[in-house]
Amino acid sequence: MNLGSAGGEEDEVLSTINTTPLVDVMLVLLIIFLLTIPVAIQTVPLDLPRASNIANVTKPENIVVAVDAAGQVFWNNERMADNQALLDRIKQVAVKEPQPEIHVRGDKNARFEFVGRVIVNCQRGGIMKVAFITEPDHGGNQEH
Q: What is the pTM of this model?
A: 0.55
CA distance readout (Å), 17 to 14, 21, 22, 45: 8, 10, 10, 50
Which pLDDT score is estimated for 89? 92
Which pLDDT score is estimated for 110? 86
pLDDT, tens digit (0-9, with 9 covering 90-100), for 14-68: 778 888 999 999 999 999 988 888 766 655 454 556 555 555 555 557 888 989 8
Residue 52 dihedral angles phi and psi, to the nearest 5°: -115, 120
